[in-house]
A and B are shown apart, each in its own frame.
Chain A
Amino acid sequence: MSHVVVIGHGMVGSRFVEDLTTADAAGKHLVTVLGEEAGETYNRVLLSDVVAGSRGWSSIAMPSPVHPRVSVQRGTTVRTIDRERQDVVLSDDSRIPYDHLVLATGAAARVPAMPGLDEPELPHGVHVLRSIDDAREIIAATLNARRAIVLGGGVLGLEAASGLARRDLAVTVVHPAPALMDRQLDEAASRVVESTLRRTGVDQRVGVAAEEVVVEDGRLRRVRLDNGEVLAADLLVLTTGTLPRVDLAEGCGLAVERGIVVDEDLTTADPRIHAIGDCAQPPCGASGLVGQGWEQAHRLAGLLTSGAPAPATTGVGDVVRPKTTGVDLVTMGICGSGRTDDPALRVVRLSDPSAGRHLEIVVRDGRLVGATAVGAGRIGTDLVTSYTRQTPLPADPAHLLLPAISPATSGTQRDSPSLIPDRATICRCNGVTKGEIRTEFASGATTVEQIVEATRATTGCGGCTDALCGILDWLHAGDAPSPTAPAAREDGFTQAKHEQDQAETRAS
């Protein structure tokens, strides 16, 4: 029996424990999870929904591993890692021995260095958005705030801004790069997102940096921008990125760059210590998306149980889909600042800014390797499917940019009776064509009842009743020429339909 100690009980740490207990059918491992926060694990991705008021607190709880071989210690702070003795040392100096140690310590919100934010404590009115407590504080602050600034127009920043706008605050996003979400969007795409956001009540300053947070009496008053503008505000949310929490790894001498350096197998230079999620820096780089952390959890669970990492699942990979009200946006793979001039890449674009639409796909060797879809609805969803499953592309990839429109497939229910060909099936259930109805009509079946008697049409699912009535009306009109076809009665029934209803009344 080996002892696996997991430091961190957030979205990735708890998922790892769940995956490990599922994969470990033989019961090789005992697991101890050390979590800093005292409460239940929650879904950090959904905090911005809570800020927006579009969901309740109760729905962000995450599965808590309940398993006889798992012990969860909440509210526990780890002081150091003693690699020599293979112990984790807690703040009370007690020691927990490990055979495998998994660091899932996550990341902390980054507070930018600038005047006004240089004290250890943030001033009143200034918040980061990383934990459930942060979300609670922001919601409390919205009760009295009227003007909010969101510093940092990445995914979280836009979600937060959109959420605050839903709470009827005047919101301005300040973003120093030339495009919002500049990891994912180029300037053209950003412009479309900007105008859509503006319509939902979110103002922006893009390509403009904040220089100073003006604090008076310990309380936020204004933010001074590098274009000379000064924005008054009573709420400032900092969404300026994260810093991987690497102290424990650093303290025990493991390699740390931006995050804890791990190899393909999520293992540090110490074969007994692994890192997953936001604290880790794998060779491919960290995306900051929970999907990557969950994928790592799944693979590491496989490695620790079978010796080989579990094969990659059909993951959502690097798809970015902000939950911003009124802004329909999804990006994946090569997009935004990640796009290069590589001649092997075929880039096809549809730019329709005044309609709030912008689409771009990146194709290599007949496969979709990247896409940006703004205001594209179902097309964006289909691009994700095509990208994550690597399905074959149309002969001309440009077809991916518009909904496929083909001639109406059946048409018989809607077309004017004169346009329906004789061979068209009117009653699918009984295989009755328009031609057969005409034939029966010609041989004397002139009411709905008689046609039904002769052909069984309408007696299956009944869905063709209106179509049959329409054809009969048309046949009557041709049969007894009159200036106009039988007009719809005032109550909307046609004559033939009326006859049928009468017949039904008689029959019942």
Chain B
Amino acid sequence: MTDSHCPYCALQCAMTLTRAEGSLPPLLVAGREFPTNRGGLCRKGGASAELLRAPDRLTAPLVRDRGGELREVTWESALDLLADRLRAVAAEHGPDAVAVFGGGGLTNEKAYQLGKFTRVALRSKNIDYNGRFCMASAAAAANRSLGLDRGLPFPVADLDTAGAVLLLGSNVVETMPPFVPHLSGARDAGGLVVVDPRRSATADLTEDGHGIHLQPVPGTDLVVLQALLHVLVAEELVDEPYVSERTTGWQDVVRSVAAWWPERAEQVCGVPADELRRTARLLAGASPAHGGAGAYVLTGRGVEQSSQGTATVTAAINLALTLGLVGRAGSGYGALTGQGNGQGGREHGQKADQLPGYRMITDPAAREHVAGVWGVDPEDLPGPGLPAIALLQSLGTPGGPRALLVHGANPVVSAPRADAVVDRLRALDLLVVCDIFPSETVALADIVLPVTQWAEEEGTMTNLEGRIIRRRKAINPPEGVVSELWVWSQLAQRLAAPGSWSTDPAEVFDELARASAGGRADYSGLSHARLDREADLHWPCPATDAGEAPHPGTPRVLLDGFPTPDGRARFIAVDHVGPAEELRPDAPLFLITGRVLEHYQSGVQTRRVPALLAAQPTPFVEVHPLLAHRLDVEEGEELELVTARGCVIAPARVTDRVRADTVFMPFHHPGAGSVNRVTNDAVDPISSMPEFKVCAVEVRPVRAADTIAPEVLA
């Protein structure tokens, strides 16, 4: 029996893996008692052992031959070839011509080592990762307003006693079901507020007096927040002592919401003025200033994946500060991290502008410290590289990267405007993908390297509450499969990189801990051995002097002040600009995207689990009955969705869960129904996070007589 955690989302549900010799799948998975999931698992986690017996597991390095076919080769020859080609690209075009695209599912050890490998072995500035698609706006806003980005600055279990929880753009019933019981306190108090343009399964939790569902026009969440803050000011529900003692910038924010009285906000966001007032009063009633049981404001991708995502999260933080919630036990603001290691993945140097410990690569002191740990001259470290969308757009262009290494990501399905990404990937001289399965991105690769997955490796993950947990090996990987740590060590040797390149996750973690010492995300008091003994360790957890007791970790940050120069949280005035794409006569509807319970991210894993695939085999388009009636379309009929970027096809699901002016598609599928082929790659000006969640679309039925352009079906 091995205690470990789920391979999927950031809740990182605890599970026990038991060897089942001779049977398939070779492990039994059971939920394990833990503060986050309390023994619960969702269907994905329950079936995760199926990932170990998927028939198309990659088990040998592949190299594309002259005929264009991927052929199995030995590790030795694959690594020799790869090193040669990396050297050649760098020699001809400079080191920045080799770029790296990482993933929020990689362990802390891998995320750390990948950043180091890029800066020290490749000596390239160009590394970014798919976390740019999910956490960048929340991170930018929290850093700017609070001085610190730790998804939840408090343990998940703190939510249990809240009188109100405002959930902005998050469908936890489908994305992290075992999280849902933590909302029961707020539900019992009638205080769950769900803001979602779609009546999601999570919105259903507000029914029968358990709370309020606000259903704004897509892309207008910021207006909802401005109006809520306006009401708090107008009705004098502000936590005045908190605002004056713990914050700055209040007057600017008061002025910035002056124009958003509920009746005006209603006209832009489509939420009735009375509902806005009722919601503001509900939140205030639960806030500590009014003797309430505590209130939380939580954001998710629905509001963050927007060209004004940073502003929207900032408005959410402004609201929480106005109510005196942040940095107070029993109340707070947080972002619900998405990917399994979306938190740790953004702390250890996978981001274009960051070094381990959540340090900025432009900070001379940070460069010196990290260079010291790596055994290199700070002068030799590159500067900030391009953020994900700009990086993908520059691939194979004049002056852009000529080679790309992809680790734990599938941008062909997960990046916005994915057809353009495919064009860029095809324009590369060299595409290398490390993965466990032949993903849609693997299909384009020149070199494919098979690597270990969750139950086959040791390491750590940092979950949505900043808790560092141990991922443990329960089973040997198939013959021919290696850890990325080994791949990078081999390549580092071949590229004659300085420093040491351990393949032992515990050793890499120790190095990560040293590199993070003194940074915002300080892991220096942690080790695999300590994490094996203690399950309650949240960062920061700095090292202590010999003889002193170890630091206990920090389950609740911000209680004693904010890590800003003056120790106060900053109110920052923002305003609504609107989505990058307005509706127009040839695209008169909103297209929004999201997840279904059975699938995860681009579906590379979950589409290989038979029960999950059987439950949700294809993409679909949710259309309102009135829209279906106007289009003369019935349940199951194929619809064509056309945006400024192209077209996708999927069957209709007729449901009043969507607004009549909006259609919804899940984003887990490749091919003709792969919605990210048509989503917008416009980005937030501060976080560079793309606007997945709203664009303008025309929807029409595909009749039998119609011909579909072959490239759509490709």
Contacts and interface: CB of A to CB of B under 8 A. Distances in A.
A62 B255 contact: yes
A384 interface: yes
Contacts of B255: 61-64
Contact of B41 (A60, A291, A389, A460): A460
Interface string A370-401: 00000001101110111011111111000100
A218 B533 CA distance: 87
A456 B28 CA distance: 13
A463 interface: yes
B258 A61 contact: yes
B661 A386 contact: yes
A462 B41 CA distance: 10
Given A59-B233, A62-B259, A389-B661, A316 B268 contact: yes
Interface string B172-186: 111001111100100
B267 A399 contact: no
A59 B230 contact: yes
Interface stretch (B318-326, B465-473, B582-590): B582-590
Contacts of A462: 40, 180-181, 184
A401 to B, nearest CB: 12
Nearest to A459: B40
B75 interface: no
B31 interface: yes
Contacts of A428: 173-174, 177, 201, 597
A335 interface: no
Contacts of A301: none
B655 to A, nearest CB: 6
B268 to A, nearest CB: 7
B43 A390 contact: no
A13 to B, nearest CB: 14
Interface in B647-663: 655-657, 660-661
B611 interface: yes
A60 B234 CA distance: 8
Given A394-B629, A429-B177, A406 B656 contact: yes
A360 B611 CA distance: 50
A56 interface: yes
Interface string B19-50: 00000000000010000000111110010000
A484 to B, nearest CB: 26
Contacts of A54: 234-235
Interface in B238-289: 254-256, 258-259, 261, 263-264, 266-268, 270-273
B43 A382 contact: no
B457 to A, nearest CB: 26
Contacts of B179: 461
Contacts, number: 165
A463 B41 contact: no
Contact of A431 (B611, B624, B626, B660): B611
A389 B578 contact: no
Nearest to A55: B234
Given A392-B630, A431-B615, A46 B261 contact: yes
Interface in A218-235: none
Given A386-B661, A459-B40, A461-B180, A392 B266 contact: no
Interface in B203-245: 204-205, 217, 230, 233-236
Nearest to B268: A316
Given A314-B582, A404-B625, A43 B258 contact: yes
Given A59-B233, A323-B261, A460 B42 contact: yes
A94 interface: no
Residue in A59, A319, A323, A395 whose Cβ sees the most chain B Cβ within 10 Å: A59
A23 interface: no
Interface residues of A, number: 53
Interface string B622-648: 001111011010000000000000000
B39 A459 contact: yes
A449 to B, nearest CB: 13
Contacts of B205: 463
Interface string A94-127: 0000000000000000000000000000000000
B598 interface: yes
Interface residues of B, number: 63
A430 B264 CA distance: 43
Interface in B589-606: 589, 597-598
Contacts of A399: 626, 629
Contacts of B266: 321, 381, 384
B228 to A, nearest CB: 13
Interface string A207-219: 0000000000000
A327 to B, nearest CB: 12
Interface in B403-435: none
Contacts of B181: 461-462
Contacts of B271: 381
A418 interface: no
A291 B255 CA distance: 18
Contact of A385 (B217, B236, B264, B656): B217
B588 A461 contact: no
A459 B15 CA distance: 12
B259 A392 contact: no
A430 B656 contact: no
A409 interface: yes
Interface in A309-335: 313-314, 316, 319, 321-323
A337 B266 CA distance: 25
A45 interface: yes
A142 B40 CA distance: 61
B263 A394 contact: no
A404 B656 contact: yes
Contacts of A404: 624-626, 656, 660
Contacts of B583: 389-391
Given A56-B234, A56-B236, A404-B626, A319 B267 contact: yes
A60 B230 CA distance: 10
A63 B655 contact: no
A460 B42 CA distance: 5
A374 to B, nearest CB: 14
16 contacts: A58-B233, A60-B258, A61-B254, A62-B259, A313-B578, A322-B263, A382-B270, A394-B630, A406-B656, A428-B177, A428-B201, A429-B178, A430-B43, A459-B40, A460-B42, A461-B173
Given A49-B261, A62-B259, A463-B180, 19 more contacts: A43-B258, A43-B259, A45-B264, A49-B234, A56-B233, A61-B254, A62-B258, A316-B267, A323-B263, A380-B272, A386-B661, A394-B660, A430-B41, A431-B615, A460-B177, A460-B178, A461-B180, A462-B180, A462-B181
